[in-house]
Chain A
Amino acid sequence: MEENKYEGLNLPNYNIPEDIQNVVSITTIDRLYNWGRRWSVWPLMFGLACCAIEMIAAQTARYDMARFGMEVMRPTPRQADMMLVSGTVTKKMLPSIIRLYNQMPEPKYVVAMGACASSGGPFKEGYNVVAGIDKFLPVDVYIPGCPPTPQALIAGMIKLQEKIDKQSIKKVRWYEKGKVDSNYVPMPILGPDLIDVRRNTEIKQAAAAKEGA
């Protein structure tokens, strides 16, 4: 492919012949693709705890997330682009969250809203609390706060848009061959405690070592 011939195309001052200047504008496919995606991030309608209320508040008239193309809350994961983990992730709830995440089509993003989703927050020490959703899902944006104000949520969403802007169609995982299911997360099992099946050997070793100690 003669790449060099089009090299100047994505630079700002590319010289367009005068007679077609009013009809043609030139941009890169990345920019066009990302422009479309960044203004239509459809969140999964998915509330876990207190943060969900601020998420709803951010959707209402005063803060109006629709300005950022994020007002179309989809109750089904099959239509959603972004999972907003809004609240404390408990061990009992985690399998459901993972199942929802696995059902979302690529491209998909995860936003950890609030202290609990980011790290367990004030409830971290609890016996039924997962200390942050990032132990299981790849998180794109963390939003601090307990709960984050709608302004903070919107700031986080803008950060996500900036992240989308920087992605290139050449490198994103969902177009790479053989990487289709690279983000599949195996389902954890609710046993005597939460079993992360990816860590089975580790858990077995630690459980055996405890006896020797």
Chain B
Amino acid sequence: MATALQTQTVDLVARFPEKVTADSRAGYSGFIVNKENLVEVATALRDEFGYDLLSNVTGVDYIAENKMEVVYHAFRTTGGPGLVFKVQVERVDPIELPSMVGIWAGAEYQEREIWDLYGIKFTDHPDLRRILLWEGFEGFPLRKDYKEGFFEEEAKPFKSRWPDGKHVFAEMKNPFRDNLKFPENFDPESYQPEDEKDLYASLERVSKPLTEGEMKTDHIVVNMGPHHPSTHGVLRVAVTLNGETITGLKPVMGYLHRNHDKIGERNTFLQIIPYTDRLDYFNSMANNFGYVTTVEKLMKIPVAERAEYIRVIMAEMSRIQNHLIFVGMLINDLGSMYTPSLYAFEERELILDIFEAVSGARMMCNYFRFGGVVRDVPEDAMQKIKDLVHDRLPAKIDEMERFLNQNEVLVARLTGVKVLNAEDAIRYSVTGPVLRAAGVPYDIRRADPYSVYDRFDFDVAVRYHGDMMDNYLIRFDEMRQSLRILEQALKQIPEGPINSQKPQYQVRVPAGEAYGRVESPKGELGFYVVSNGKPNPYRYHVRAPSFVNLTALETICSGSKIADFVAQLAMLDIVMGEVDR
């Protein structure tokens, strides 16, 4: 059962007459707030109505109406549906809006992303720099009038690919013979690239100054990454160090920015599914789940009963596999090179075997479809799942726990080293295991149930210290809960069709907007999709848990030792495909 996000529990219009209007466009919901009153309304939402978690902030470019819109999705950590509010501005540069960072600190990176890709300036934002692209990049790519180097047509499927029955290379159509785009009369020889003074200036700003009476020491700036074995991909972190202590920190990302949103807006709805696989490439099943849930909400179609169970089974298997890798990689980062990872990967391979059996691919499954899944689970694969869930995995998780959790070095490294407390975690919009390890029992499967999660008996794993040990142990708790869900799902799964719709290449999606979210192993994975009735989404945005969780990294690490930094970063369990998209 999908709960409708659209159910409004708060009447903002009554509370703020003249300042707020209901969004009356067909298929849309929520409220439109006047730009001047945005801060006032947002503060009231947080303090009076209890919407303490600003989960998603994104922009939409309504070029036909000459408007830019910024959409906010706020939720309560006590559960229930969310609240959507929007603010609209004229599409005339400079476009300016008040920043939300003072109210919900979790908006910081998301607003930077909007500045980067839409060119909307957030006044009083503490650190407004480009985030995914580099300073000096020409243009704001997500604006509808931005055409990239290899631009062919507005929407897929392209008609021009085979003009004379012969393939034409995209390179041949571009004046620069490559995926490039330069301003007119650009002279590369006299061009002076912008250095990274902005980055170091903002690093300087956040770095703690010397206090009176403290010994005067040199502060050094260290850059980790983007090529570093422990940054889980191509993340770069600029750190100011006082001796071994981190006094300031700024992550630099975008090294894997593959233009997910822009490509998604050109794709048809169905074509996006394989792209979602490549967001969080450990959990393609969870990503598929989030996307199809959102589009189904928009299409208002039911999901076949058997498919719901298959989806849950795949998503939970994916979670177990993700947490196993987390444990292996964390201990890898702590210095126990590779051995625990080998144990983790052994089990992961068995789960990937099942994914391969049902979908044909180990990692990039592309398995979900609107209304169901693409294929039924073969009999032998079902047997394999049962063997894994009933026998092998519980024993292996116990085994891992026995090998690792009493290890003196591990316990000493993890216990008492801070990650986040509950208050900061909510403020920074952190979701997933990190939030739950801080003592907030917020799990979307329970707080705002989707699919058939309301039929299963499971506990929301929660721990209360918010230190590294709790963050580590909660992954084991979650694996156990996933096994519980899996056992029930395997028992309850009905026979029947696996898709409520006919197989189709082109789906009809009515105009409107939808925000769907699922509890991915990393946190709240949300998709914001706007359709205008055409075969391609008008706006397609991914609220990636890894990206938003990174907002808290500065707070997590400041004051810690540099040696703990890699482990603290590992606790956030980021995946660069999702951070940079």
Interface residues of A (CB under 8 A from B): 45-50, 52-54, 56-57, 60-62, 75, 87-88, 90, 92-93, 96, 100, 120, 122-131, 135, 146-147, 149, 189-197, 200, 202-204, 206-211
Contacts and interface: CB of A to CB of B under 8 A. Distances in A.
A127 B255 contact: no
Interface string B243-256: 00000000000111
A192 B137 contact: yes
B544 to A, nearest CB: 14
A194 B180 contact: yes
Contact of B179 (A47, A130, A190): A130
B181 interface: yes
A197 B148 contact: no
Given A147-B363, A192-B138, A200 B179 contact: no
A52 to B, nearest CB: 7
Contacts of B345: 56-57, 60-62
Contacts of B226: 93, 96
15 contacts: A53-B282, A90-B258, A92-B257, A93-B234, A93-B256, A120-B179, A124-B150, A127-B141, A127-B262, A131-B150, A193-B149, A193-B180, A200-B188, A204-B187, A210-B184
B539 interface: no
Contact of A45 (B150, B178, B229): B229
B346 A62 contact: yes
A190 B262 contact: no
B274 A90 contact: no
B24 interface: no
B183 A207 contact: yes
Contacts of B134: 92, 190
Among A61, A96, A120, A125, max chain B CB count under 10 A is at A125
Given A92-B255, A126-B262, A200-B189, A53 B281 contact: yes
Interface in B259-309: 259, 262-263, 266, 274-275, 278, 281-282
A193 B138 CA distance: 7
A127 B133 CA distance: 10
Contacts of A200: 188-189
A53 B363 contact: yes
A128 B170 contact: no
A27 B156 CA distance: 59
B234 A126 contact: no
A116 B98 CA distance: 39
A178 to B, nearest CB: 28
B362 A149 contact: yes
Contact of B188 (A48, A53, A56, A203): A203
Interface string B174-186: 0111111111111
B342 interface: yes
Interface string B362-374: 1110000000000
Contact of B346 (A49, A60, A203, A209): A60
B189 A206 contact: no
Contacts of A92: 133-134, 254-255, 257
Among A46, A49, A120, max chain B CB count under 10 A is at A49
A124 B263 CA distance: 10
Interface string B121-153: 000000000001110111001000010111110
B170 A93 contact: no
Contacts of A202: 176-177
A161 to B, nearest CB: 24
Among A46, A126, A128, A200, max chain B CB count under 10 A is at A128
Given A93-B255, A147-B364, A191-B188, A49 B262 contact: no
B233 interface: yes
Nearest to B136: A191
Contacts of B137: 190, 192-193
For chain B, give the interface size range.
35 or more
Contacts of A209: 175
A176 to B, nearest CB: 29
Q: Is the interface of B mostly helix, strand, loop or mixed?
A: loop
Given A47-B234, A207-B184, 14 more contacts: A49-B576, A50-B363, A90-B255, A90-B256, A100-B227, A120-B179, A125-B266, A126-B258, A192-B138, A193-B180, A196-B178, A204-B187, A204-B189, A208-B185
Nearest to A192: B138
A127 B345 CA distance: 35
Contacts of B133: 92, 128
B186 A204 contact: yes
- List the 7 shortest-distance A-B pairs measured between CB atoms, nearest first: A126-B259, A192-B138, A50-B281, A127-B148, A60-B345, A207-B186, A93-B255
B178 A131 contact: yes
B191 interface: yes
A94 B179 CA distance: 14
Interface in B163-181: 170-171, 175-181
A92 B579 CA distance: 15
Given A61-B342, A92-B133, A92-B254, A50 B175 contact: no
Given A50-B363, A53-B282, A127 B182 contact: no
A196 B254 CA distance: 20
A131 B148 CA distance: 13
Nearest to B255: A93
Contacts of A123: 258-259, 263
A204 B188 contact: yes
Given A190-B193, A191-B193, A210-B175, A125 B150 contact: yes
Contacts of A128: 132-133, 141, 254, 257-259
B182 A193 contact: yes
A125 B257 contact: no
A28 B345 CA distance: 42
A196 B182 CA distance: 12
Nearest to B236: A96
Given A57-B349, A96-B227, A122-B274, A189 B193 contact: yes
Among A54, A62, A196, A200, max chain B CB count under 10 A is at A62
A211 B179 contact: no
Contacts of A195: 188, 191
A197 B187 CA distance: 11
B577 A192 contact: no
A52 B233 contact: yes
Contacts of A206: 175-177, 182
A54 B362 CA distance: 9
B188 A131 contact: no
B341 interface: yes
A50 B148 contact: no
A190 to B, nearest CB: 5
A120 B259 CA distance: 12
B188 A197 contact: yes
Contacts of A196: 178
A192 B183 contact: yes
Contacts of B181: 127, 192-193
Contact of B364 (A48, A50, A52, A130): A50
A190 B226 CA distance: 16
